[in-house]
Every structure is written in structure tokens, then in C-alpha cells.
Structure 1
Amino acid sequence: MTENAAGLQRKIKSAGDLQAVVRTMKALAAANIGQYEKAVRSLGDYYRSVEMGLSVCLRRSALAEPTPEAAGAKARITGAVVFGSDQGLVGRFNDVVADFAIEKFSTLKKRPCVFAVGERAFSRLEDAGLTPVELFPVPGSVKSISPLIGQIVAAIETPPGCGAVTELYLFHNRPALGAAYAPVDQRLLPLDEEWRRALRKSPWPTTNLPEVIGGDAVLQELIREYLFVSLFRACAESLASENASRLAAMQRADTNIDEMLVDLTAAYHRLRQSAIDEELFDVTAGFEALSSPATSGDR
């Protein structure tokens, strides 16, 4: 009886300690969601500036029309960047984005050169027979995103065993309403012709277009910035989605622990009450035995 009560007490204590850890992780996930969503919002103005620069360059540059590579040269190499997570406790976060990317890959004519961000996504793609050519760690803060994107851009320009990438896709999870998220994809290269036509025709905020100094070299740098901003935003959205998924998982764990604590506490109280009832019964039985007529007569 005593050992059972002690065992229940240990379980209650362990559950309470686990719940404290879960609630700490919930608080961290909620705080991280805020910083990554703020980072995504802060990219808006810069992205708009890059678009305006591209619109001017595309109006004046010879690259405004599709190049042979963009039109579908035989040497085209398809690359794909898949953003996942390094850590667990995120539900189906990695499975969702990996399955979405794998389904998209099946529609491509050639096997893509895949770059994975996050060990979990890497493992999921590897299990599907699409072993990424390079693995990048998931950044732990907003400040760590820029160095990561620089590494990815450098790897895309000179991928090991793939050749120069001329067609590039992004796959990541994007936050949705509440704690939900959804997988999305985006083709970054070659630049979409419809998008380029829209940029060339977009109205300029003043009456005079700025002069472009540097010609096609400036256009190439702006395209590089466009890649950087797009990759940065995809990474930040993926991190926000990861923390939203972790928050939802921790919320479910917190609820389950609450229910378990209620059951364990009720079982402990029943056990304690049973022990008290037995002690009272023993006291009552002893008192009645001492108070019976046979006992009094013996005295």
C-alpha cells in the first residue's frame, strides 16, 4: 500500500516537471513566432525596392526578353531548396513539406539537384530516394538567417556534382490562420516572363525614370538580391511555421499532461482514503473488542 502511494507520488512529480518543460517550450515557440513574422513583414519595403530596380533595368536591358537558357536550353539544371527543421516535436511539419516537394519533383523531366535545410527534412527526402547534395543547419534566430542564405546562394552557383543551376524552386511551409501552416512552392529561376512583363509595365512613382549605370551588371546584381530576399522570406516563414507547429504540439502535450495529472491525483487520493478507512476500521474493531461484555467479564 505504501509503495503504491509512493509510486503515484513519483509519477505526479515527474508529470509536473514534464509539464513545466512543456510550458517553457510553449512560451519560447510563441516568442519565436513573433520575431520571425516580424522579419517577414520587414522584408516588404526592401522587396518592393528590389522590384522597382528590376522594373527599370528590364525596361532598358537587353535581358528583358527571354534568353536561350530561359527558353529551355538542353543544359538546364534544376535545383530545389527544401526548408525543414533540425529538431523534433513539430508534428508532421517535415513530412508535409517533404511530401509536397516529392510530389512536385515527380512532375519534372529531370531529377533535381536538392538542397535541404534541416536534418529532419534531409532524412525524409533521403528515405524517398532523393538524397540532397548538401545539408544546411536551421538558423536559431533572425540574425542567423542572412549567413545561411549566403551559403545557400553560393552553393546554388557551384553545386557539387550538378553543374550550374538554371532553374530553381523553393519549398517551405507558410503560416496560415491560427497555429496552422501549409506547404508552398515558388519558382525563382528562370524569372517568370509574365512577372517580368508586369514589372516592365508597372507605373513609376515619379514622372522620370532613373538612369541605370552599369547596364546588365546591375540587373544581375538585382536578380541576386531578388534571390536573397526570396530565400530569406521562405526561411523566415518556414521558421515561423515550425514554431507554430511546435506550439500546437506542446499545447496538445500540456492538455494530455493535465488529464494525466487529474487521473494520477484522483488515484492517489483514492489510495490514501482507502488506507485511512482501513486504519479507522482497525481502530473501531479494536474499540468494539475492548468494549464487548466478554472482555468486561474477564476483567
Structure 2
Amino acid sequence: MASNNMQDIKRRIKSVTSTEHITSAMKLVSAAKLRRAKATFEKTTEYFHYITESIADIFNNISDVPQQYLTGNHEADKTGYIIITSCRGLCGGFNSNVIKQAEAEIKAAGKKTVIVAVGTKGKEYFVKRGHEIFSEYLAPPEDISFLETKHISKPFIDMYNSGEIDKVVLIYTSFKNSMEQEVKCETLLPFDIENDLEVIKHDREVEYEPSVEAVFNYLVPKYVEIKVYGAIVESATCEHAARRMAMENATDSAREMLDNLSLFYNRARQAAITDEIIEIVAGSEAQK
């Protein structure tokens, strides 16, 4: 019995050791990808933050913003969601947190939904639950170019302008640091100028050529494209950070399990040796 138990423990040790090697290697790969993604994210944030702030500043300081872009001027029975998840698993609660937030937002809105799914995990989840998937982008988020974000956002902008949807909502994971990420939900359209307390109002007059409407019809799509691309880059950074942390935790758990299995193996081995000694002593006593 002890011998069989020892064989089972040895097989278990071999299996856990193999898993530990895999998770450790995946941790190193994710750490390398995180460094590259973080560098791209920091450069992108520095540039896009300036652009989005400048555009937001214009929106909040001009009284002639076309009414179609302002809160309260669109009524439709459908809302558009751009939901960014990953294409791979093994990244802890990264995907489930985004999906839970999206479900909560959809439930709270109480309207029909049309979804642009970036990443396979979100697409698969919402397809199974009968939501309308307008389009899908199943390449890894870090591989999506700025040009492709135009194809992601333009259909929703057209649907918003035509009155088919009343909102364009972006749901993604925001990067705080390598240890912490947070799911964010941003309404890209319409703009809620009155409640935007972070923007400083300026007493100035600005003239637009050829017209205010023409300028805003150009700025709004650019603003949405920039926000979507920034969210995709940030989400990719969060994915690698979450996967690195998940693989680190898995590696630590595997090593702890190996320590416990080694202890059990040594106890079983000691018990087997003790049984053999008892048998030898009993046999010698019987021969006297």
C-alpha cells in the first residue's frame, strides 16, 4: 500500500513540476510583453491625452456645439457598446470583470443593444446570450492599428447621427499600475457638457471655418477614434499585466504544492522503510 501511495505521489509531483515550468515560462513571456506594451501605452497616452483634452476643451467652451452631439437630444430604443476584451485566457479576472461591467450597464440601460466586440472572449459571451453583434475584431488588441479603429467607430457614429442609437458607450480596462487595473465605462456620444467639472471654462470667442457644424462633424469622429484606439492600447497593457500576475500566482501555488507533495512522499517513504525493518525484525525473531 505504501509503495502504491509513493508511486501516486511521484506521478503527481512530475505533473505539478511540468505545470510549474509552463506557468513560469508564461510569466516571463508576459513580463516581456508587458514592458513593450507599457512603453507603447505611455507614448500613446502622452500624445492622445493632449489631443482629447484639446477637443474636450473646445466642446465645453463653445456654446454653438451642434445639438445632436449633446445629452438629451437623442431618443432611441437602442444603445451601442464597444466592448474590449482579450483573445486569450489565463489572465485572471481580466475578461470576466469587463463582461460583468458590460452586463451591469446593459441591464441598467434597459434598452436593446448593438455591440462591437474587440476580442474573442467578449464576442463569444454576448453571442451566446443573444445580443446583436454588429461587428467583431478578433485580432489581439495590441495588433489593432489606429487605422482599424476608424472601421470600429465609424459605423456607430453613422448610426448615432441617423438616430438608430442614442449612445455610444466604451467599456474597457484602465491601467493604474502593474498590480492594479480597473474597468471603465465611458460615454463617447453624446457629450454631457454641464456635468464635466474637470474642464475649465474660458471666456473667449472662437470662429470656425467654413462653419461650426462642419468643424464638429470632422472633430467628433476623430475624437471617438482616438478614444477607442487609446482604450485598445491601454486594455492590451492591462491584459499582459493581468496575465503576468496570474502566472506568478499559479507558479507560486505550484511550488507550494510541490513542497507539500515532497513532504508527503518523504513520510510515505519513511513509513515504507519502517514497515520493512519491522518485517525483517519479526522474521529474525521467528527463527530463534
Q: Does TM-score exceed 0.5, indicating one fold?
A: yes
**Distance (whole Å) between structure 1 residues aligned to residue 208 and residue 91 of structure 2:** 47
Matched residue, 2:87? 86
Contact 1:57 1:212 in 2 (8 A): no
Structural mapping, 1:217-232, within 5 Å: 217-232=214-229
**Distance (whole Å) between structure 1 residues aligned to residue 37 and residue 259 of structure 2:** 36
**Distance (whole Å) between structure 2 residues aligned to residue 198 and residue 3 of structure 1:** 69
Structural mapping, 1:50-199, within 5 Å: 51-52=53-54, 64-68=64-68, 70=70, 71-74=72-75, 78-108=79-109, 110-139=111-140, 141=142, 143-157=143-157, 165=165, 167-176=167-176, 179-194=179-194
**Distance (whole Å) between structure 1 residues aligned to residue 16 and residue 191 of structure 2:** 54
Percent identical among aligned pairs is 23
Matched residue, 1:270? 267
Secondary structure of 1:64's aligned partner? coil
**Distance (whole Å) between structure 1 residues aligned to residue 61 and residue 186 of structure 2:** 24
Matched residue, 2:21? 20
Q: CA shift at 1:4, angstroms?
A: 3.8
Secondary structure of 2:16's aligned partner? helix
Contact 1:32 1:243 in 2 (8 A): yes
Secondary structure of 2:112's aligned partner? coil
**Distance (whole Å) between structure 1 residues aligned to residue 249 and residue 179 of structure 2:** 12
Q: CA shift at 1:140, angstroms?
A: 5.2
**Distance (whole Å) between structure 2 residues aligned to residue 179 and residue 21 of structure 1:** 22
Matched residue, 1:35? 36
Counterpart residue type for residue 245 of structure 2? A
Matched residue, 1:295? none
**Distance (whole Å) between structure 1 residues aligned to residue 281 and residue 269 of structure 2:** 18
**Distance (whole Å) between structure 2 residues aligned to residue 54 and residue 286 of structure 1:** 92
Q: TM-score, normalised by structure 2?
A: 0.77
Matched residue, 2:232? 235
Q: Structure 2: any 5+ residue segments left out of the alignment? A: none
Q: CA shift at 1:22, angstroms?
A: 0.8
Q: Against the structure 1 CA distance between its residues 203 and 197, is the aligned structure 2 distance closer, same or farther, given a 3 Å change threshold? A: farther
Q: TM-score, normalised by structure 1?
A: 0.74
**Distance (whole Å) between structure 2 residues aligned to residue 262 and residue 250 of structure 1:** 18
- The worse-fitting range, judged by mean Cα deviation, of 166-175 and 71-80 is 71-80
**Distance (whole Å) between structure 1 residues aligned to residue 92 and residue 58 of structure 2:** 45
What do you get for the CA RMSD once the two structures are aligned? 3.8
Contact 1:86 1:120 in 2 (8 A): yes
Q: Work out whether 1:256 is the aligned partner of 2:258.
A: no
Contact 1:157 1:164 in 2 (8 A): no
Q: Work out whether 1:244 is the aligned partner of 2:247.
A: no
Contact 2:80 2:113 in 1 (8 A): yes
Q: Against the structure 1 CA distance between its residues 10 and 148, is the aligned structure 2 distance closer, same or farther, given a 3 Å change threshold? A: farther
Q: Against the structure 1 CA distance between its residues 284 and 25, is the aligned structure 2 distance closer, same or farther, given a 3 Å change threshold? A: same
